[in-house]
Each structure stands twice: as structure tokens, then as C-alpha cells.
């Protein structure tokens, strides 16, 4: 089952979308046509394509927030896309790519006649999409940490995190091709999950305090630290993302190993939440209202963090 987001987190993301959309309103909307060959007309054409991606991401988030249980993964993916697009938006308006390029465009002349105003609007958009991404990712981490304590039996840390002896015993079974029937995470996979969660926690926490080199982009808690400390958090933020990428690749490689060598499909149960066992593993599942309560709590915390821990 896809991870979902409660109404509290949905409200937080809606606030971020509204702010980001307001900041983006200072820009332009293009009319589509065949790609021209002239450099500036081509730049205007490509700007249209970029705005089209931005609009699609906004729409995907807004549409998802209208649902009773918004898909958290979809919200996070589109929030990340919006942040990436906002960071390069100032490069979409090279001088000469307005109406004088010959391409039909609604780009406002103030983009070039008032560069300071344009830069301020672009900075607002970048700041708001950064907050939107924080809200989307922080809520996910907080939800998983809480769910690991009060969630269903197979999701609780106490049920699948084992000590060194049990983990080594499981490692010794890996050369054999027989599938190991373990409800939830196996002992080795459990430590991989903890490592990924730790990397995500570092990623989110450092992002709250990080400051870009030109201080245009900064986390919602960056005002609590000086510039040099904020830059240090930014480095840790970058390093933790690299570590997270490596851990995800390792985790996927382990899933492929179990499928190809151990003849054990781990991906199917991850998606459907269902798996067949020779005997009843005796799992218990948390009620839906508990999941909703935890999602609302996680969303509320994400909103609070995105506002710099201010009400």
C-alpha cells in the first residue's frame, strides 16, 4: 500500500503551494508552436517546456491534496521536482527572448526592465519550493519513526531489528538458495532500513539549517545559525544525500539478489503489503485511525518545521 499523508500534512503542503504559486506569478506563460531555429526564439520555446513541467508538478500536488488520503510519495516527488525547476528558473529568460524574439510569448517585459524585481520573485519561489520539499520529506521521516513504535507488528522496530548474533546467523544462510520466510524485514535488511532512515534524518535535519553559497536558498531554520555554520550544514546535507543514494542502490541490489538467486520476491509484498507463508506468522495490524493520527501528527510537525518552528 502506498504511504499516505493525513489532512494536517496536506494542509501544510497546500500552504507551501499557495506561497510558491504566488511567487511564481511574476513570470510568464508561453503559447506552444513548432520549435523555432533562431537562438532566442528557441530559448522562449524551451522556456514554455520548462513552465509546462512546473505546471504539471503543481497540478499533480493540488490534485493529490484533494483526495482523502494523499499519496505521500507522489507529493514528495513533485515537491522535489518543483524545487529543482525553481532553482534554474532565472536561466530561462535570456535577454532577447521576449516578444522581440519573434516567438509568441506572454513573458512580462518587467523580467528584463526590472531585473531586481525579477530576481526577488525568483528568490521567493525558490524559498517557498524549498519549504514545500522540507514539508514533504520531513513528514515522511517523522511518520516512519513513529510508526516504527506504534504501527503494525511487521513495521515495528522491535519486531525486525535483531542483534549481531541473529544478523550473522542470517548472513550465513545467504549462500544457500532456499528462500527465508521472514515476515517483514530480514535481520540484514533491518539494518539497511535503519541506515536509510538515519541518512534521511540527517538529510532533513541538515536541510533545515543549510545555507546556499549566495544565501539565496536557505532552510527554514537557517536564521538560528550564522553563515559559516549554515554552509557547514549544507555540506553535511550534500554528503548525506550521496550516502542515501548509495544505501538505496545497495538496498535495491539486495532485493534483486533475493529475487534472482534466493527465488524470493520481496518487491511484490513491498507494493501490495501481501505475502504467502507456509504457516500463519501471527501478525497483528494497527487500526486505520492510528495511521491517520500518526500521519496528521507527522504532517503538523513538518508544517511547523517549514515555518521555522514558529506558529
Domain at 119, CATH number? 1.20.120
Q: What is the largest CA-CA distance in the chain?
A: 73
- Same domain for 105 and 172, yes or no, is no
Specify if 128 maps to a domain. yes
Q: Counting runs of H as helices and runs of E as strands, what totals does the chain give?
A: 11, 0
Confidence of residue 134 (pLDDT cuts 50, 70, 90): low
pLDDT at residue 243, rounded to an integer: 92
Spatial separation of the C-alpha atoms in residues 81 and 129, rounded to whole Å: 9
Specify if 281 maps to a domain. no
The whole-number average pLDDT for the span 4-11 is 45
Of all residues in the chain, the percent with pLDDT exceeding 90 is: 5
Spatial separation of the C-alpha atoms in residues 129 and 86, rounded to whole Å: 7
Specify if 23 maps to a domain. yes
Beta-sheet strands, E only, within the chain: none
CB atoms within 10 A of CB 287: 9
Spatial separation of the C-alpha atoms in residues 28 and 103, rounded to whole Å: 13
- Same domain for 266 and 235, yes or no, is yes
Spatial separation of the C-alpha atoms in residues 5 and 310, rounded to whole Å: 22
Spatial separation of the C-alpha atoms in residues 37 and 54, rounded to whole Å: 24
- Please provide the DSSP assignment of 226-281 as one string: -HHHHHHHHHHHHHHHHHHHHHHHHHHHHHHHHHHTS----HHHHHHS----SS--
Residue 24: name the closest of 134, 97, 111 by CA.
Answer: 111
Specify if 2 maps to a domain. no
Confidence of residue 250 (pLDDT cuts 50, 70, 90): very high
pLDDT at residue 20, rounded to an integer: 45
For residue 177, which phi and psi values (nearest 5 degrees)?
-90, -5
Three-state SS at 4: strand
Confidence of residue 232 (pLDDT cuts 50, 70, 90): very high
- Same domain for 52 and 166, yes or no, is no
H or E segment and range at residue 297: helix 288-306
20-75 pLDDT, tens digit each: 444 444 444 445 567 778 888 888 888 878 877 877 787 787 777 767 777 777 87
The range of the structural domain enclosing residue 171 comes to 152-276
Q: Is pLDDT above 50 for 217? A: yes
For residue 80, which phi and psi values (nearest 5 degrees)?
-65, -40
From its phi and psi, is residue 302 left (phi > 0), alpha (psi between -120 and 50) or beta? alpha
Best-predicted range by mean pLDDT (85-89, 114-118, 151-155, 191-195): 191-195
Of all residues in the chain, the percent with pLDDT exceeding 70 is: 82
* Residues with Cβ within 8 Å of residue 2, at least 6 apart in sequence: 71, 72, 73, 74
The helix-helix angle for 115-150 and 187-209 (nearest 10°) equals 150
Count: domains in the chain: 2
Three-state SS at 71: strand
Q: Is pLDDT above 80 for 302? A: no
Give the residue carrying C-alpha cell 501544510. Answer: 12
Q: What are the grid coordinates assigned to 64, written together?
A: 493529490
Q: Is pLDDT above 70 for 111? A: yes
Q: Is pLDDT above 90 for 246? A: yes
Specify if 145 maps to a domain. no
Give the residue carrying C-alpha cell 535488511. Answer: 189
Domain end (from 70, 103, 136)? 136
Spatial separation of the C-alpha atoms in residues 109 and 99, rounded to whole Å: 9
Amino acid at each position: 500500500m502506498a504511504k499516505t499523508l493525513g489532512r494536517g500534512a496536506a494542509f501544510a503542503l497546500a500552504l507551501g503551494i499557495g506561497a510558491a504559486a504566488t511567487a511564481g506569478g511574476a513570470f510568464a506563460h508561453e503559447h506552444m508552436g513548432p520549435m523555432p531555429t533562431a537562438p532566442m526564439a528557441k530559448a522562449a520555446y524551451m522556456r514554455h517546456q520548462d513552465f509546462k513541467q512546473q505546471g504539471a508538478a503543481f497540478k499533480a500536488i493540488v490534485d493529490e491534496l484533494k483526495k482523502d488520503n494523499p499519496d505521500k510519495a507522489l507529493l514528495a516527488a513533485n515537491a522535489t521536482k518543483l524545487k529543482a525547476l525553481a532553482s534554474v528558473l532565472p536561466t530561462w529568460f535570456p535577454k532577447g527572448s521576449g516578444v522581440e524574439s519573434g516567438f509568441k510569448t506572454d513573458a512580462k517585459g518587467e523580467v528584463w526592465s526590472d531585473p531586481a524585481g525579477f530576481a526577488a520573485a525568483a528568490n521567493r519561489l525558490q524559498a517557498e519550493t524549498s519549504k514545500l520539499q522540507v514539508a514533504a520529506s520531513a513528514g515522511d521521516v517523522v511518520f516512519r519513526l513513529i510508526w516504527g513504535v506504534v504501527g503494525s507488528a511487521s513495521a515495528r522496530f522491535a519486531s525486525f531489528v535483531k542483534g549481531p548474533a541473529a544478523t550473522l546467523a542470517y548472513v550465513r544462510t545467504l549462500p544457500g538458495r532456499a528462500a527465508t520466510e521472514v515476515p517483514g524485514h530480514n535481520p540484514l535488511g533491518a539494518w539497511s532500513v535503519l541506515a536509510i532512515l538515519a541518512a534521511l534524518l540527517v538529510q532533513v535535519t541538515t536541510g533545515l539549517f543549510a545555507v546556499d553559497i549566495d544565501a539565496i536558498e536557505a532552510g527554514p531554520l537557517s536564521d538560528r545559525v550564522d553563515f559559516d555554520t549554515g554552509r557547514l550544514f549544507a555540506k553535511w546535507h550534500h554528503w548525506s544525500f550521496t550516502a542515501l543514494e548509495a544505501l538505496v542502490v545497495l538496498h535495491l541490489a539486495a532485493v534483486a539478489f533475493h529475487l534472482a538467486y534466493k527465488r524470493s520476491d520481496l518487491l511484490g509484498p513491498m507494493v501490495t503489503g501481501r505475502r504467502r507463508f507456509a504457516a500463519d506468522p501471527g501478525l497483528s495490524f494497527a487500526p486505520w485511525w492510528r495511521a491517520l493520527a500518526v500521519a496528521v501528527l507527522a504532517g503538523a510537525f513538518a508544517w511547523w518545521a517549514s515555518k521555522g518552528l514558529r506558529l
